[in-house]
Amino acid sequence: MIRQNPYRLSIEQMQAKALEIRRDIIAMLVEAKSGHTGGPLGWADVATAMFFHEMVFDPQQPKWPDRDMWFYSFGHVTPIHYSALAEAGFFPLRDLMKFRKFDGHLQGHPSNLDSPGIEVSSGSLGQGLSIAFGAAYGSRMDNHPRRVYAFMSDGEQQEGSIWEAVMSAGHYKLDNLCALIDYNNIQIDGHVEDIMGLAPLADKYRAFRWHVIEIDGHDFPQILSALDEARATKGKPTVILARTVMGQPVSFMRDNYEWHGKPPTREQGEKALTELGTSLDQWSARLLNG
């Protein structure tokens, strides 16, 4: 098999896919009555670009030895992780309607032993970059062509162990490692800059010997060109700081930290899905039949 993304969608197709994924997120959260809404919606464009254009994998054989590897360090954004995996063919869409339920396989936070497409369980923040570092280091030892991606939140940059990993990846010049940060300036208790400020985050990474790219995380051309630039950058790991709006584009969720960790009610879900051009019944039926 050729090492390339199985979909390679165009920008217009990715925009359409990201809309479907956002609808999945709302419908599965209404059904689950539990889970995180804002972060998954805000990360939907970057995730779509990764799964439908950038990353190399085969959904029919999740452990394909030639695959790229990705690590969701901010495990709590499972609604976007799972809906992207389902849309990409790792498991049926109907499984999304069993999210967080006893008789489903989709745990509240990702579990590698329960669901395909997950390399390692996560949910305790601050661990993913170290794991990605290890996978990237081992891949380089074997001259394996894979790229290794770590998806992190901005809030979890407050974890000290992240900076141990940042230091080690800079030290070892791991250019097969790329970190992407969901920089929405929101964490559970409020705005990141109010809780425990990160700025200047780009300078921090540069000081730790990383190549830094700052983009609008809702702009597909910017996302794709940043990924190209990361791939072309040698002798350094790259971090892509993707500025996103939590809750995007739902009017009553955007940039509102109250939507970090709660699901929409039926009414709120209906309202959100109307804004997204469908209805709760219609989209739930699509998932249940998928």
Partner 1 sequence: MPDMKKTREGFGRGLVELGKSNPDVVVLVGDLSESTMVSFFAKEFPDRFIQMGVAEQNMMNTAAGLSLVGKIPFLSTYGAFATCRCLDQIRVTICYSDLNVKIGGAHGGISVGPDGATHQAMEEISMLRVLPRMKVIVPCDYEETRKATLAAAAAWGPVYIRFGRENVPVVTNTETPFELGKAIVLRPGADLAIIACGVMVFEAMEAADALAKRGIDARVIDLHTIKPIDKTAVIQAAEECGAIITAEEHQINGGLGGAVAEVIVRHRPVPMEFVAVDDRFGQSGTPDELMTAFGLRSRDILAAADRVLKRKTERVF
Q: Please check whether residue 88 is in contact with residue 118, taking contact to mean a CB–CB distance below 8 angstroms.
A: no
The answer to the question of residue 119 lying near partner 1 (CB under 8 A) is: yes
Q: Please check whether residue 241 is in contact with residue 217, taking contact to mean a CB–CB distance below 8 angstroms.
A: no
Closest CA to 74 of 43, 53, 112: 43
Contact pick of 10, 60, 61, 138 for partner 1 (by CB under 8 A): 138
Establish how many alpha carbons lie within 13 A of residue 220's alpha carbon, considering only the half-sphere containing its beta carbon. 21
Region from 15-23, 37-45, 132-140, 203-211 binding partner 1, contact rule CB under 8 A:
132-140
Which residues 169-208 are close enough to bind partner 1 by CB under 8 A? 171
- Minimum CB separation of residue 188 from partner 1 in Å reads 18
Q: How far is CA 90 from the centre of its chain?
A: 15
SS3 content of the chain, % helix, strand, coil (to 5): 45, 10, 40
> Is the bond preceding 40 in cis, omega lying within 30 degrees of 0?
no
Contact pick of 62, 89, 104, 123 for partner 1 (by CB under 8 A): 123
Region from 89-97, 112-120, 206-214, 231-239 binding partner 1, contact rule CB under 8 A:
112-120
- Determine phi and psi for 191, rounding to 5 degrees: -80, 140
Which residues 46-105 are close enough to bind partner 1 by CB under 8 A? 69
Contact pick of 115, 127, 184, 278 for partner 1 (by CB under 8 A): 127
The answer to the question of residue 225 lying near partner 1 (CB under 8 A) is: no
The answer to the question of residue 132 lying near partner 1 (CB under 8 A) is: yes
- Determine phi and psi for 100, rounding to 5 degrees: 65, 15
The answer to the question of residue 112 lying near partner 1 (CB under 8 A) is: yes
Residues that bind partner 1 (CB under 8 A): 69, 111-113, 119-124, 127, 130-139, 141-142, 144, 160-161, 164-165, 167-168, 171
